[in-house]
Chain A
Amino acid sequence: MKDQIISTYIKQCLETGKVPSNVYAFAKVLDMEEKDFYTYFSSLEAVEMTIFQYWFQQVREQTEKSEIYAGYSAREKILAIYFAWIEALKGNRSFVKMLFDRKQDHFPMPKFPHFLKLLRHDFIEWANSITNEAIGSKEIEDRKFLSEKYKDGLWMNFFFVMNFWLKDDSPNFEKTDVAIEKSVNLAFDLMGKSPLDSLFDFGKFMFQNK
Chain B
Amino acid sequence: MEQNSIPSSKVERAMRFVKTGAQIGGNYIKHYSKKMVDPSLSREELHEDNATDVYNALSELKGSALKVAQMLSMEKNILPRQYTNKFQMAQYNAPPLSGPLIIQTFIKSFGKAPQEIFEQFNMKACNAASIGQVHEAILNQKKIAIKIQYPGVAESIKSDLRMVKPIAFRLLDMNEKELEKYIKEVEGKLLEETDYELEYKRSIEISEACAHIPNLVFTKYYKEYTSKRVLTMDWMEGLHLDDYLKTNPSQEERNRIGQAMWDFYDIQVHELKSVHADPHPGNFLMQENGKLGVIDFGCVKEIPEDFYYNYFALLVNELLEEPGIVKKIMTQQEIINANDTKEVQQIITDAFLKMTKLLATPFVEPSFDFGNNEYIDKIYALGEEVSKMDELKKSKEGRGSQHALYINRTYFGLYSILNVLQAKVNTGERDWKTALFNYHKPQLSAVS
Binding site for B on A (CB under 8 A): 66-68, 72, 75-76, 79-80, 82-83, 87, 170, 172, 174-175, 177-178, 180-181, 185
Contact = CB atoms under 8 A, between A and B. Distances in A.
B163 interface: no
Interface stretch (B24-32, B49-57, B102-110): B102-110
22 contacts: A66-B113, A67-B115, A68-B103, A68-B115, A72-B99, A75-B98, A76-B100, A79-B99, A79-B101, A80-B99, A80-B100, A83-B100, A83-B101, A87-B107, A170-B152, A174-B152, A174-B155, A177-B104, A177-B105, A178-B152, A181-B98, A185-B95
Contact of A172 (B98, B103, B108): B108
Contacts of B98: 75-76, 79, 181, 185
Nearest to B227: A172
Contacts of A180: 101
A67 B104 CA distance: 15
Contacts of A72: 99-100
Contacts of B108: 172
Contacts of B97: 181
Sort chain B's interface into a size bin: 10 to 19
Interface centre among B95, B103, B115, B123 (most CB of A within 10 A): B103
A72 B99 CA distance: 8
A132 B427 CA distance: 68
B115 A87 contact: no
B408 to A, nearest CB: 34
A115 to B, nearest CB: 26
B155 to A, nearest CB: 7
A88 to B, nearest CB: 12
A177 B150 CA distance: 10
A193 B97 CA distance: 22
B151 interface: yes
Interface in B143-186: 151-152, 155
B152 A80 contact: no
A83 B103 contact: yes
Nearest to B228: A172
Query: When A and B form their complex, which 3 residue pairs have the shortest distance between CB atoms, in order from nearest?
Result: A79-B100, A80-B100, A83-B104
A67 B105 CA distance: 18
Contact of B152 (A66, A83, A175): A175
B286 to A, nearest CB: 36
Contacts of B113: 66, 68
Which applies to chain A's interface (DSSP): helix, strand, loop or mixed?
Answer: helix
Contacts of A175: 151-152, 155
A178 B97 CA distance: 10
Contact of B104 (A75, A87, A170): A87
Contact of A170 (B103, B107, B155): B155
A66 B107 CA distance: 14
Contact of A68 (B99, B104, B151, B155): B99
A66 B112 CA distance: 12
A178 B10 CA distance: 14
A73 B97 CA distance: 14
A80 B101 CA distance: 8
A104 to B, nearest CB: 29
Contacts of B115: 67-68
Contacts of B107: 87
A153 to B, nearest CB: 19
A205 to B, nearest CB: 31
Nearest to B114: A68
Given A66-B113, A68-B113, A87-B104, A76 B152 contact: no
Given A76-B99, A174-B152, 4 more contacts: A79-B101, A80-B99, A87-B107, A185-B95
Nearest to A178: B152
Nearest to A75: B98
Contacts of B123: 68
Interface string B107-150: 11000010100000001000000000000000000000000000
Contacts of A68: 99, 103, 113, 115, 123
A181 B103 CA distance: 13
Contacts of A185: 95, 98
Interface centre among A79, A87, A181 (most CB of B within 10 A): A181
Contacts of B105: 177
B63 to A, nearest CB: 15
Interface in B195-209: none
Nearest to B116: A66
A1 B99 CA distance: 38
Contacts of B155: 170, 174-175
Interface centre among B95, B99, B100, B104 (most CB of A within 10 A): B100
Nearest to B108: A172
A72 B100 CA distance: 9
Interface string B83-101: 0000000000001011111
B15 to A, nearest CB: 19
B99 A181 contact: no
Nearest to B153: A174
B99 A178 contact: no
A196 to B, nearest CB: 20
